[in-house]
């Protein structure tokens, strides 16, 4: 998950009324559990990275 996805989730909470002015964001661990993670990047190999390992 990158910062844009986090910003989108926060914006959705604001629009839905779950976060108002002065509201605190949830703790990092709780936010991480409730947010849908992005798929992990593919493994880097010598052929796909263009580097000689």
Give the total number of structural domains in the chain: 1
Degrees to nearest 5, angle at CA 18 with 14 and 23? 80
In a domain, 22, yes or no: yes
The tokens for 29 are: 């661990």
pLDDT score for 39: 57
In a domain, 24, yes or no: yes
Asked whether the predicted pLDDT for residue 16 surpasses 90, the reply is yes
In a domain, 27, yes or no: yes
Distance CA 24, CA 26 (A): 6
Task: State pTM to two decimals.
Answer: 0.53
Range of the domain at 12: 1-35
In a domain, 45, yes or no: no
Q: Which pLDDT tens digit goes with each residue over 22-36?
A: 998 878 777 777 766
């Amino acid at each position: 998950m990158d910062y844009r996805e986090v910003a989108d989730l926060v914006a959705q909470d604001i629009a839905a009324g779950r976060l108002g002015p002065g509201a605190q964001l949830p703790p990092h661990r709780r936010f991480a559990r409730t947010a849908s993670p992005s798929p992990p990047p593919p493994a880097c190999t010598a052929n796909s990275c263009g580097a000689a390992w």
